[in-house]
Structure 1
């Protein structure tokens, strides 16, 4: 395990009400315990961090860790890696285009060694976003602190926001796209190729992270607009390095869509 990462997480959780680490209390509140994210398996690989909507499993409970943040972190990171590896090893579902179908497609295109599986919010509520929980303010605060720690620690080459519409307000609160606190710039889209900007959008975050925003990849087959957008993103990531994409976006400005159309 990464001792520096464990220390970062433990320091953050030390400031949290310890009851949030208790899986029995979490069940009573219809919440999971905090979701903690492992880094890529290959430290030298191109790091692509995918930030989803909530957990890939129904109810994320780290059991019997007590109220010791260090013990909780250790168990949570093992659980995250085990769950992620299991999902990545599965075959594509015939029922629809799920989050992990997208992750497996991404692994085929760019390799799996540098993939980082994260979530916008670090709690779920019985498999769904916890927006209606009375603890939502605390959930948002902890989620943002954990996300900031992940970005600083992992230093991803690419970030894909795939949290969908149910938490779009939270994403914009965490990372404003307008106003004095705006941290998202150099946006471009693929409208000239027939892809709605609501389906695929490129931007820089904090002047250093190349990002893409897509809809949450749980769309039922037949939603061709979402599928086309995902395929376009996979092609972009497979054909062009992050450094080149960042340079193109910065130099293209408002004409970025024209560059995208030529790809």
Structure 2
């Protein structure tokens, strides 16, 4: 149990209307209840945080049973832990490409260091919530939760795997251009035939090593082959470059993630 993380999540959820935590109301709106994210099971492992786009299932409805925000947080984190353990088992998710990628990371690196998050903490019927009338609030809460995750987990590597459909929101959350830019491009692999749209390395907030790939969806044809090649290349890159975590983890900052304005590439 991570009481500090639970308290930070509870503080965020307390700023939204209680109806967003009510599974009955969420269902009438065609939405899930908020998806909350655990840290790594092994704090000493190299931490790889994978950010998908939204949960994608139709049954992420946590019932706090009258216990309020704190009860919601506790139950949501317990479900996240149990679900990720199941999904990392071969076939535990029905064989989706996204969790095949997660299992590939677990096989290549320490599965105890994996962190599974999403760009959006609420989905709409298992999909993109951007057409929901509640999207502005979904974005606000999602960004606050992501900020806590970056600050609290201090990942060694972050993989943005949400794809191009929600790229505009990612750039809104983490600007790549202008005075408020927090991303600096480092490299791509177009020289070996991998498009920048398929794989890009960048630095976030002047401290987090990040990669952007397409969402590992069940595509077919040429696009699927290009995306699969990019994912395989990323695994090889990480094998060569993933920093080793020191034996004693650095202390977690008390405040939120520092925003460092950096010039765009």
Does residue 1:236 correspond to 2:237, yes or no?
yes
Q: Is the contact between residue 185 and residue 203 of structure 1 (CA under 8 Å) also seen in structure 2? A: yes
Does residue 1:69 correspond to 2:103, yes or no?
no
Partner of 1:190: 189
Query: What is the CA-CA distance between 1:59 and the residue it aligns to?
Result: 3.3
Partner of 1:115: 114
Within 1, Cα distance between the matches of 2:33 and 2:93?
28
Query: What is the CA-CA distance between 1:92 and the residue it aligns to?
Result: 8.3
Partner of 1:215: 214
Within 2, Cα distance between the matches of 1:239 and 1:196?
20
Q: 1:50 to 1:119 in 2, by over 3 A?
A: same
Query: What is the CA-CA distance between 1:110 and the residue it aligns to?
Result: 1.1
Q: What is the CA deviation profile of residues 172-212 of structure 1, one whole-angstrom value per residue up to 9, with x for unaligned ones?
A: 00000101110000331000000000000000000000000
Does residue 1:33 correspond to 2:20, yes or no?
no
Query: What is the CA-CA distance between 1:56 and the residue it aligns to?
Result: 4.6
Within 1, Cα distance between the matches of 2:211 and 2:171?
14
Query: What is the CA-CA distance between 1:240 and the residue it aligns to?
Result: 1.9
Q: Is the contact between residue 160 and residue 213 of structure 2 (CA under 8 Å) also seen in structure 1? A: yes
Q: How does 1:136-147 map to 2 (within 5 A)?
A: 136-147=135-146
TM-score by length of 1: 0.88
Q: Is the contact between residue 57 and residue 125 of structure 2 (CA under 8 Å) also seen in structure 1? A: no
Query: What is the CA-CA distance between 1:90 and the residue it aligns to?
Result: 2.7
Query: What is the CA-CA distance between 1:241 and the residue it aligns to?
Result: 2.5
Partner of 1:130: 129
Partner of 1:50: 50
SS in 2 for 1:66: coil
Q: What is the CA deviation profile of residues 60-117 of structure 1, one whole-angstrom value per residue up to 9, with x for unaligned ones?
A: 110244361101000000011111111111338897x611000001111112010000
Q: Is the contact between residue 48 and residue 114 of structure 1 (CA under 8 Å) also seen in structure 2? A: yes
Query: What is the CA-CA distance between 1:216 and the residue it aligns to?
Result: 0.3
Matched residues, number? 242
Q: Is the contact between residue 54 and residue 128 of structure 1 (CA under 8 Å) also seen in structure 2? A: yes
Within 1, Cα distance between the matches of 2:136 and 2:94?
38
Within 2, Cα distance between the matches of 1:73 and 1:94?
27
Partner of 1:148: 147
Q: How does 1:156-167 map to 2 (within 5 A)?
A: 156-167=155-166
- Of Structure 1 and Structure 2, the greater helix share is in 1
Gaps of 5+ in 1: 244-263
Gaps of 5+ in 2: 245-265
Q: Is the contact between residue 159 and residue 210 of structure 1 (CA under 8 Å) also seen in structure 2? A: yes
SS in 1 for 2:88: helix
Within 2, Cα distance between the matches of 1:92 and 1:9?
28
